[in-house]
Structure 1
Amino acid sequence: MRNPAPFLLALDTSTHWVSFALYDGANLLCEHTWRSNDYHTVELAPMVNQALQRLGLTARQLTCVAVAIGPGSFTGLRVGIALAKGLVLGGRMALVGVPSLDILAAAQPPLDLPMIATLRAGRSRFALRRYGWDGEAWQAQDEYQILTLEQLAEMVDRPTWLCGEFDARERQALSAHPHIRLAAAWLCLRRAGRLAELGWARWQAGQVADPASLAPIYLHYHEPIPS
């Protein structure tokens, strides 16, 4: 008897933008991305179940779940990670955690420029990380930071590719910066299809997580001390 075909479910609830995808290692079977008004808890699981039904699958046929682990919204991250852990513990499948900014970085084109990937971290602040292209992929260059938009703009002192979730006012301000090369909006959306590919590669490499210990990446902003 042949082994059943492997299927991976990818979940990203890092911010208001929610995304999930189903992947078989060769093809993206479905992907759904939408902006949620803090309804992650009531929207995500039913939509995943509907997608599985359309494909004639059940949750028990999943062999791996890849989930975005942050940084990002405290509440949003908990929803995705809780669903991933529930599926894994109930179905004896593998669990893979992928940092949310790595998902965004992986979607960017190869460039001979440093890159900063960002996502919203609440209260007009942004989580960010620097990346560099090594000839094959974008690699993280430093630790996570959490800054305001003004602080982010001030730190860019040379031509730099910037990607992330920005509203119209923020995009206008950043576009006027002499050193910022702002990615197009479609490149700034984290898609679970990309997470699925990253998660699959980690799973195949044996980089699986323990459901009992997998935790989200939370960042805390510290107000600058007046001089």
Structure 2
Amino acid sequence: MKVLAVDTSSTVAAVAIIDDEVLLGEYFINNRKTHSQKLMPMIKELMDSLGLTPEDIDIYAASVGPGSFTGLRIGVTSIKAMAYALEKPVISVPTLDALAYNAQDRSAVICPIMDARNNQVYTALYRFVDKGISKESEYMALPIEELMHMFVNTGNKVCFVGDGVDRHREYLHNELGEKCSFAPHNLILNKASSVAQLALTAAKAGKLENPVDMVPFYLRKSQAEQEYDRRCGDKTHE
């Protein structure tokens, strides 16, 4: 079963193809958010290098969020269009789930953190179990200080992963000390191979989706929408 997966939820543009449990190839670029220009050429180059055609792919998968509003739309729309044209199923993979899968630390609570601006992060809590990752909380968007309050008075070790680590590494280490650890540098950012692996697991469990049903998961409104709501709220009180 061949799975093609993409992740465009952050500054990273990533594409991977797996065949059952074997990673056939992965393309990863962390250099500005130019996903609209890079994603489709990356997919084509990876397929050409592997001698595959779009028809050879059994399942198309995308990291659906939370994350960059524009980036998510590009990745989801590209996967939907390809799968729809080929009459292939899709799998939606939450971005935080895929990031947690990168950590592979069975001794700690896994805490992916994605930069959500204004000192806030997208996050959730996970543990590794025999059959993979287990989500231990809801998906959250909250200030980094509020996230720390969930850990400072517990004895849990916490392993952080995601693009929020670079921004908050020193703060996290100062607050949690020896309880704090981080995923290896080569695994700390979004990996399409993790999206593909989780999609394969979902597919084997029969959780296939129709391409028209795949939508981005934003978790919160965009900055423009929040500003619009604020202005409308102000007017109602005039």
TM bracket (short chain)? 0.7 to 0.9
- Give 1:35's aligned residue: 30
User: How large is the RMSD of aligned CA atoms in angstroms?
Assistant: 2.0
The C-alpha deviation readout for 1:45-101, integer Å capped at 9, x for no partner, is: 011111111222222222111111111111111111000001111111121111111
The 3-state SS of whatever aligns with 1:212 is: helix
Greater shift, 154-163 or 137-146, is seen at 154-163
In the alignment, which of 48, 56, 63 is matched to residue 51 of structure 2?
56
In the alignment, which of 120, 125, 150 is matched to residue 120 of structure 2?
125
Q: CA deviation at 1:167?
A: 5.7
- Give 1:225's aligned residue: none
Matches within 5 A, 1:1-227: 6-157=1-152, 158=154, 159=156, 160-166=158-164, 168=166, 170-178=168-176, 180-183=179-182, 184-220=184-220
Change in Cα spacing, 1:55 to 1:134, as seen in structure 2 (3 Å) is closer
Greater shift, 193-202 or 92-101, is seen at 193-202
Provide the C-alpha distance between the structure 1 equivalents of 2:49 and 2:130, rounded to a whole number of angstroms.
39
- Give 1:3's aligned residue: none
Greater percentage in helix: 2
Structure 1 segments unaligned to the other structure (5+ residues) = 1-5, 223-227
Provide the C-alpha distance between the structure 2 equivalents of 1:26 and 1:116, rounded to a whole number of angstroms.
25
The 3-state SS of whatever aligns with 2:164 is: coil
Structure 2 segments unaligned to the other structure (5+ residues) = 227-238
Q: What TM-score do the two structures reach when normalised by structure 1?
A: 0.86
The C-alpha deviation readout for 1:168-221, integer Å capped at 9, x for no partner, is: 452122222235513133332221112211111211221111222221111227
The 3-state SS of whatever aligns with 1:37 is: coil
Provide the C-alpha distance between the structure 2 equivalents of 1:199 and 1:193, rounded to a whole number of angstroms.
10
- Cα contact 1:88–1:211 (8 A) shared by 2: yes
Q: What TM-score do the two structures reach when normalised by structure 2?
A: 0.83
Equivalent residue pairs, number: 217
Provide the C-alpha distance between the structure 1 equivalents of 2:24 and 2:81, rounded to a whole number of angstroms.
22
Provide the C-alpha distance between the structure 2 equivalents of 1:132 and 1:95, rounded to a whole number of angstroms.
26
